[in-house]
Amino acid sequence: MPDARTTRLVDAYTRLTRDNLPTLLALYAENARFKDPFNDVRGHAAIGRIFTQMFEELREPRFTVQVSASEGDDAFLTWELHFTRERGQAMVIRGATHLRFTPAGLVQLHRDYWDAAEELYAKLPVLGALMRLLQRRLATPQR
- Is residue 22 scored above 80 in pLDDT? yes
pLDDT digits (tens, 9 = 90+) for 46-61: 999 999 999 998 899 9
CB 2 within 8 A of CB 10: yes
Predicted confidence at residue 52, as pLDDT, reads: 96
Distance between CA 101 and CA 122 in Å, rounded?
A: 34
pLDDT for 136 equals: 55
Predicted pLDDT of residue 87? 76
The residues with which 96 forms a beta bridge, in sequence order, are: 78, 113
- The total of other beta-carbon atoms located within 10 Å of residue 134's CB is 12
Mean pLDDT throughout 101-121?
84
pLDDT (tens digit, 9 = 90+) per residue, 23-77? 999 999 999 999 998 899 999 999 999 999 999 988 999 999 999 999 999 999 9
- Mean residue pLDDT across the chain: 86
Prediction pTM value: 0.81
Q: Nearest 5°: CA angle at 61, between 18 and 76?
A: 95
> CA-to-CA distance for 68 and 8, rounded, in angstroms?
11
Q: What is the DSSP letter of 55?
A: H
